[in-house]
């Protein structure tokens, strides 16, 4: 049988109240009994049952992490960084992939509430404002990561996606590109990146591709087929901005299938700077999200919400940085880029 606080109390010849006090360092206990109790705890290898103390209103030291897809490198790297910080602070994570589906989000949310998680970290893709509002009303700590809700008072660690899109466009424009295709899906972060992208275009009096349309998923395959669309269009771009590294990898594959050299004949720029960016050939120039930092910050944020009495909402917006690798190239229309 598992050893309980009663076993310890009996063995140490004190009451369970006393044991509880030395455990939680509350109340005043004489050094002598304290030592005695500690010794028995050691001997019996006693571990307090967290369910029981949670029932009495203590924390479960468990946080729910809702993420679109754990198998996506960006999210798995983010999850890992959140987990690392959590482990430093003594928290475990229940991870749930939502596949961007509202039903799954809702299901996990109610389920984890029943399990008394101390709070939720919601990663990008969460479009479920109502539920977030509900959580806040119910006084359950929530923090958003890699996603912003500008019009909504909620704690968040966000990336400046607008800036990221702007940087990508500016970089390509500086290289001389004038026709740039964009691959994006219809989620908030991508829309922001697109907005930033268009802003840079506008400032340079360039036109946005008429071939553009949102894609459905964010897999390599989707990226490839959208890139094919651009490359077979009437107005072939000299560069492509893909809203994540996976899509960029697809774009590179499409270029190859079309017999185009990357970067000489087609520049490709990605977003996220996951492991994918270092592995594709040529290595991907990409807009880097500070994944480690985001994970750390959001964990710190949620913990301060859980443990502290902090009342004002905090919104942290981190800036992307461009990482230059081999998938982008200077464009000029006199020879080098000839097809």
Partner DNA sequence: TTGAAAGCGGTACCAA
Partner DNA sequence: TTGGTACCGCTTTCAA
Residue 197 CB, nearest distance to a second copy (Å)? 24
Nearer to a second copy, 107 or 330 (CB): 107
Stretch that binds DNA, among 56-64, 165-173, 253-261, 275-283 (CB under 7 A): 56-64
Nearer to DNA, 41 or 163 (CB): 41
Select the span of 40-48, 81-89, 247-255, 296-304 touching DNA (CB under 7 A).
40-48
Q: Is 210 in the site for DNA (CB under 7 A)?
A: no
29 binds DNA (CB under 7 A): yes
The rounded distance, in Å, linking the Cα atoms of 284 and 270 is 7
* Site of interaction with a second copy (CB under 8 A): 47-52, 54-55, 60-62, 69-71, 73, 76-77, 79-80, 83-84, 87, 92-97, 104, 108, 110-116, 220, 246, 249, 252, 256, 275-276, 278-281
Cβ atoms within 10 Å, residue 167: 23
129 lines the binding site for DNA (CB under 7 A):
no
Instruction: Provide the minimum distance between the beta carbon of 199 and a second copy in the complex, in angstroms, as a whole number.
Output: 31
State which residue, 22 or 201, has the beta carbon closest to a second copy: 22
**Min dist. Cβ of residue 146 to DNA (A):** 34
Where does this chain bind DNA (CB under 7 A)?
2, 4-6, 13-18, 20-21, 23-24, 26-30, 32-34, 46-49, 52-53, 55-58
């Amino acid at each position: 049988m598992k050893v309980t606080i009663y076993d310890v109390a009996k063995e140490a010849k004190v009451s369970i109240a006393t044991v509880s006090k030395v455990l939680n360092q509350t109340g005043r206990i004489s050094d002598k009994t304290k030592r005695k109790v500690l010794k028995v705890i050691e001997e019996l290898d006693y571990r307090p049952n967290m369910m029981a103390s949670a029932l009495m209103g203590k924390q479960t030291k468990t946080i729910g992490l809702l993420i679109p897809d754990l198998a996506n490198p960006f999210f798995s790297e983010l999850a890992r960084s959140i987990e690392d910080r959590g482990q430093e602070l003594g928290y475990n994570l229940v991870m749930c992939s939502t596949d961007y589906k509202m039903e799954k989000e809702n299901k996990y949310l109610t389920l984890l509430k029943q399990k008394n998680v101390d709070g939720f970290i919601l990663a990008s893709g969460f479009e479920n404002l109502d539920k977030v509002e509900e959580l806040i009303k119910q006084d359950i700590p929530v923090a958003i990561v890699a996603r912003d809700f500008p019009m909504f008072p909620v704690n968040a660690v966000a990336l400046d996606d607008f800036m990221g899109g702007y940087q990508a466009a500016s970089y390509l424009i500086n290289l001389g590109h004038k026709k740039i295709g964009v691959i994006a899906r219809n989620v908030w972060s991508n829309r922001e990146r697109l907005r930033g992208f268009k802003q840079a275009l506008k400032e340079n009096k360039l036109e946005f591709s008429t071939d553009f349309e949102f894609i459905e998923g964010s897999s390599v395959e989707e990226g490839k087929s959208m890139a094919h669309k651009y490359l077979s269009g009437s107005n072939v771009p000299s560069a492509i901005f893909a809203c994540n590294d996976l899509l960029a990898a697809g774009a590179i594959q499409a270029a190859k299938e079309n017999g185009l050299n990357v970067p000489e004949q087609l520049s490709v720029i990605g977003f996220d700077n996951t492991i994918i960016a270092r592995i594709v050939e040529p290595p991907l120039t990409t807009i880097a999200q500070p994944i480690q930092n985001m994970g750390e910050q959001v964990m710190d944020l949620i913990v301060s919400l859980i443990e502290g009495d902090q009342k004002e909402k905090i919104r942290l917006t981190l800036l992307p940085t461009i990482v230059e690798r081999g998938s982008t190239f200077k464009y000029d229309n006199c020879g080098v880029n000839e097809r």
